């Protein structure tokens, strides 16, 4: 599916010489809600016996500004193709998750240990298409990638991963003519499940969903 989306994106972009249109660049601010269904499966060596802990974590906030570049066709129903990039990072939870355990057996028998964990997402990039409906209203679909970084203490370190997702939403914009313009949109991104193993064999998994309200200001030329 990812290859198909990128192939369609590239094919349409190559037709710009045959259809007049406008280029646009801009900046977007977002209010977002991140919800992650997370689980950690530990080996017997760390906690005395193998076990799985699950948790749904949420975080709401203001995401760093993103920057976009796009092209709007006069043909293809006035479809817009673009790419949006968000620098910086955002925590999956506003505070670290903590728990203290005293294993009854194993290498840490009788020793209390406090475990802390959190995660962050960064380098969010979306390749998108916006299809106009009526009166400035449009629907949006796209392919998204994001880096997921783990932060933990008390256990063997986990690595990081890049996860794919699909974005869809609806919005309204001021038009596609030359000059200053705006967009207002509500969007949702459903990411694939990320699975990361530690050096000791523990596994952490997360299913990340992001919903946001976005306001964009740009210039078409």
- Mean pLDDT in the chain? 79
Angstrom distance (rounded) from CA 149 to CA 162: 9
pLDDT at residue 5 greater than cutoff 60:
no
Residue 106 confidence (pLDDT): 58
| 3-state DSSP of the chain | CHHHHHHHHHHHHCCCCCCCEEEEEEEEEEEEEEEEEEEEEECHHHHCCCEEEEEEEEEEEEEEEEEEEEEEECCHHHCEEEEEEEEEEEECCCCCEEEEECCCCCCCCCCCEEEEEEEEEEEEEEEEEEEECCCCEEEEEEEEEEEEEEEEECCCCECCEEEEEEEEEEEEECCCCCEEEEEEEEEEEEECCEEEEECCCCEEEEEEEEEEEEEEEEEEC
Angstrom distance (rounded) from CA 214 to CA 90: 16
Residues 101-160: pLDDT tens digits?
Answer: 556 555 656 666 555 555 677 889 999 999 999 999 999 999 999 998 876 655 556 778
Residue 217 confidence (pLDDT): 96
For residue 166, how far is the Cα from the chain centroid?
A: 9
Domain span at residue 41 reads 2-14+21-220
| Total count of domains within the chain | 1
Residue 8 Rama label (left phi>0; alpha psi -120 to 50; beta): alpha
Range in 14-23, 72-81, 90-99 the model is least confident about: 90-99
Residue 151 confidence (pLDDT): 66
Range in 48-57, 83-92, 142-151 the model is least confident about: 48-57
- CATH at residue 107: 2.40.160
Range in 41-45, 148-152, 196-200 the model is least confident about: 41-45
Residue 134 confidence (pLDDT): 92
How long, in residues, is the chain? Answer: 221
The Cα diameter of the chain in Å comes to 74
Instruction: Give the mean model confidence (pLDDT) for residues 36-55.
Output: 71
Tell me the two tokens of residue 195: 């699975």
Range in 28-32, 72-76, 151-155, 204-208 the model is least confident about: 151-155
Q: Which of 54 and 186 is assigned the larger pLDDT?
A: 186
Range in 100-114, 171-185, 187-201 the model is least confident about: 100-114
Confidence of residue 2 (pLDDT cuts 50, 70, 90): low
Instruction: Give the mean model confidence (pLDDT) for residues 63-74.
Output: 89
Q: Please state the pTM of the whole predicted model.
A: 0.76
């Amino acid at each position: 599916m990812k290859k198909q989306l990128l192939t369609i994106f590239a094919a349409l972009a190559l037709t710009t010489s045959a259809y007049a249109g406008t280029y646009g660049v801009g900046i977007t601010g977002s209010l977002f809600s991140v919800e992650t269904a997370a689980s950690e499966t530990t080996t017997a060596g760390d906690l005395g016996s193998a076990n799985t802990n699950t948790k749904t974590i949420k975080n709401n906030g203001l995401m760093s500004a993103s920057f976009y570049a796009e092209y709007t066709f006069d043909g293809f129903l006035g479809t817009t193709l673009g790419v949006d990039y968000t620098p910086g990072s955002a925590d999956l939870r506003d505070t670290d998750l903590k728990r203290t355990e005293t294993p009854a057996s194993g290498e840490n028998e009788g020793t209390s240990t406090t475990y802390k964990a959190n995660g962050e997402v960064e380098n969010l990039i979306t390749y998108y298409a916006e299809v106009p409906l009526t009166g400035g209203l449009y629907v949006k679909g796209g392919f998204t990638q994001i880096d997921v970084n783990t932060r933990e203490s008390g256990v063997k370190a986990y690595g990081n991963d890049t996860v794919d997702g699909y974005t869809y939403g609806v919005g309204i914009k001021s038009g596609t003519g030359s000059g200053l313009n705006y967009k207002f949109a509500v969007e949702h991104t459903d990411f694939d499940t990320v699975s990361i193993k530690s050096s000791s064999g523990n596994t952490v998994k997360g299913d990340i969903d992001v919903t946001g309200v976005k306001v964009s200001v740009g210039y078409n030329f």
